[in-house]
A and B are shown apart, each in its own frame.
Chain A
Amino acid sequence: MIRTENLSKIFRTEIVETTALNKINFGVSKGEFVAIMGPSGCGKSTLLNILGLLDSPTSGRYFFDGIEVTGFSESQRTKLRKGNIGFVFQSFNLIDELTVYENIELPLIAMNIPGSKRRDRVEQILESMRIGHRRKHFPKQLSGGQQQRVAVARALITKPKLILADEPTGNLDSTNGEQVMQLLEQLNADGTTIVMVTHSLSHADRAHRIVNLFDGYIVTERIEKAFYPVG
């Protein structure tokens, strides 16, 4: 599904040059659940941003669903990301001025889906996430767990090929964190490819494979569960 070849990312300022990723060769098959672990500053989020087409590498190649996207412009990356990649963040990243309904609806508006179709899909996902009763509330009126469910709903609304989760349980208590993990597991069981950055080994254990990064390098890869590629 996604594949990198000698992917590197270097951040340059006037004084300092930092290599966040160093010739990473990384791949995820369709339907796989991969967890990325490592200490702070090892390049996990940088890798996730590149995989999510939010950023571009300094060198190396990146293939998304068979297409090389390395040299894509911002508008090309936005176009590809739309509808294909869903994001779940540690800090939820909901827009405070929009209601639950309007936050979930956002990716559909970006895809220019007409209003009536948007309504049907949002209602469906509100029910499946059990947050329909909160549709008119604003994020500040929700608990952390509820906010993350809204974020997951927003990530799923376009039925993306890939979900990228950057420490999705980082700001949640164990109960809510467990609920979010169960959600992700269920999504994966339904066929969604997931790449998750996490500090929690217990959560990482839910993945098919754990990849450890250190100082921009992949140091270990461990198979946790048997994975049978789809198709």
Chain B
Amino acid sequence: MINQSILLFFRNLTNNKLFSFINITNLIVGFATFILLSSYINRELSYDSHHEHYERIYRLQLFMDQEENILKHTWSVTAALGRQVLPGIPEIEKTVIMHDVGDNNKNGIFLSMDKKNQVLVRYGYYADPSLFEVFSYRFIEGNPEDALRNPFSIVLSHTVADKLFPSEKTLGKQVYGENKLAFTVTGVYEDLPQNSDMRPAYLLPMNTFTPVTGWVDYAENFWAYSFYTFVLLRENADPDAVDKKIHDALKDYRKEHHPYLRPLSKLHQNAYFQPDYMIALGMFYLIAILILILSAINYINLQTANATSRLREIGIKKTVGFSKKSLWKQFMVESVLTTLIAGLIGLLVAHSSLPVFNRLLGQQAMTSVLGNWRLLLVILMVTLITGFVSGLYPAYVISAFNPVKALKQKFIEDDSNGISLKKVLVTAQFSISIFLLVVGFII
């Protein structure tokens, strides 16, 4: 019977082209929007999750308990904390200290391979060799164990290496910074994913910091806040215990400043304990679900309204002995098949709409919605559930047709004067639409 249901489904699809087109397009729009927003939210929530030790990595931050200071938190800290205080804490397995190269975020610096063809590069950092033990960098050339050991070495991201040495092996080659300093390439790593809080374009070893900047006592200076510090906690270590130990580490210098650890998993969404970003993500998620619900309600109403076209078929089937249950199953199969087809096309539409979506967000947020198998599984489950739930009411209505009236093609009008599911669905549709319009207007 399932085979026959599938056969009838595809034949009805092609015989009623306009209705099928409207019906499936409605679902495609709902699914595509849901998939895009879900992928975006998933991306936002999975920042840095590609690092192997993701759950044990923390960033050192400062809470500045000063009423007059608007900025209450900062992740620019003194290197002295990382060099003098943190090594004494048994819960901490590794520490990484980093610093911007030059005026990092504003102008960048020029790198070249021959002092002639200059490439402007932003987001370079000085970093301890332990960086590669804490974070997961995939090396294309060189060895992460010693790439940042020697002074005046440089480790390049793949994009920068390709710009400087197109289609060449780069290990051992010279790179000039601002045509003044020469660095030897000791490694090339794959670009970190877009959803990384920090995406260094290149790295210089921390032992090059003093020769380049002339800053000799940075590791003893408790007053200079321009360094970044990450720690890898030991397995099962309690970060709150570490917080207690370092809370008053600056009491002899700035007693109102209190260091603490913030987990890597929270840095992108909520580094400073402000819920705004999470609220925004929550709103996005709500919008995604509401749009899907809207599509499902549309589908239910369209299917129910189109029931007259199936009257004869139902009347005949009931006459020859098909039970209400078997007819219900037939229409449920049709509903699930419809949503599966719409879901698949919706996935392709979402994928091809990414450039437009990224432009709307003003960033290169995503390059693919097909890469995450877990998300694809969730989308498949949502599609199946949508098909099942959306099919319940139309299947119930259609399978309940009186066979005599069905054969005469007399549609059973909804003559309920009170509350009916159809009225509830239409009201819900309008309410959701108005809500989305208002939200869209506000945003």
Question: Interface residues, chain A, CB within 8 Å of chain B?
Answer: 49, 52, 54-55, 74-75, 78-79, 81-83, 87, 89, 93-98, 102, 106-107, 109-112, 154, 158
Q: Which of B4, B12, B325, B407 contacts A89 (CB 8 A)?
A: B407
For A83, A87, A106, the residue with the greatest tally of chain B CB atoms inside 10 Å of its CB is A106
What are 5 A-B residue pairs whose CB atoms fall within 8 Å in the complex? A54-B404, A55-B404, A93-B312, A96-B15, A106-B322
Contact check, A78 vs B313: say whether CB atoms are below 8 A apart.
Answer: no
Q: Does B323 contact A (CB under 8 A)?
A: yes
Tell me the smallest distance from the CB of B306 to a CB of chain A, in Å.
14
| Cα distance, A182 to B383, chains bound together (Å) | 54
| Cα distance, A49 to B319, chains bound together (Å) | 10
Q: Does B1 contact A (CB under 8 A)?
A: yes
| Cα distance, A89 to B318, chains bound together (Å) | 14
Q: Does B324 contact A (CB under 8 A)?
A: yes
User: Given A78-B318, A110-B321, are A97 and B404 also a contact pair (CB < 8 Å)?
Assistant: no
Contact check, A95 vs B312: say whether CB atoms are below 8 A apart.
Answer: yes
Q: Which of B15, B316, B323 contacts A78 (CB 8 A)?
A: B323
Q: Which residue of A lies closest to B315 (CB)?
A: A93
Contacts of B313 in A (CB 8 A): 95, 97
User: Given A49-B404, A93-B407, A97-B11, are A110 and B317 also a contact pair (CB < 8 Å)?
Assistant: yes
| Cα distance, A81 to B12, chains bound together (Å) | 27
| Cα distance, A87 to B320, chains bound together (Å) | 8
Question: Interface residues, chain B, CB within 8 Å of chain A?
Answer: 1, 4, 7-8, 11-12, 15, 312-313, 315-326, 402-404, 407
Contacts of B402 in A (CB 8 A): 55
User: Given A93-B315, A111-B321, are A54 and B15 also a contact pair (CB < 8 Å)?
Assistant: no
Contacts of A82 in B (CB 8 A): 320-321
Contacts of A109 in B (CB 8 A): 1, 4, 322
Contact check, B319 vs A93: say whether CB atoms are below 8 A apart.
Answer: yes
Contact check, B317 vs A93: say whether CB atoms are below 8 A apart.
Answer: no
Q: Which of B11, B319, B325 contacts A87 (CB 8 A)?
A: B319
Contacts of B320 in A (CB 8 A): 82, 87, 106-107, 110, 154
Contacts of B323 in A (CB 8 A): 75, 78-79, 110
Q: Which residue of B lies closest to A82 (CB)?
A: B321
| Cα distance, A79 to B7, chains bound together (Å) | 25
| Cα distance, A83 to B322, chains bound together (Å) | 11
| Cα distance, A208 to B352, chains bound together (Å) | 72
Contact check, A98 vs B8: say whether CB atoms are below 8 A apart.
Answer: yes
Tell me the smallest distance from the CB of B84 to a CB of chain A, in Å.
81
| Cα distance, A81 to B323, chains bound together (Å) | 10
Q: Which residue of B lies closest to A107 (CB)?
A: B320
| Cα distance, A52 to B313, chains bound together (Å) | 18
Contact check, A83 vs B4: say whether CB atoms are below 8 A apart.
Answer: no
Q: Which of A52, A74, A81, A102 contacts B4 (CB 8 A)?
A: A102
| Cα distance, A98 to B402, chains bound together (Å) | 22
Q: Which residue of A lies closest to B314 (CB)?
A: A95
Tell me the smallest distance from the CB of B205 to a CB of chain A, in Å.
73
For B313, B320, B322, the residue with the greatest tally of chain A CB atoms inside 10 Å of its CB is B320
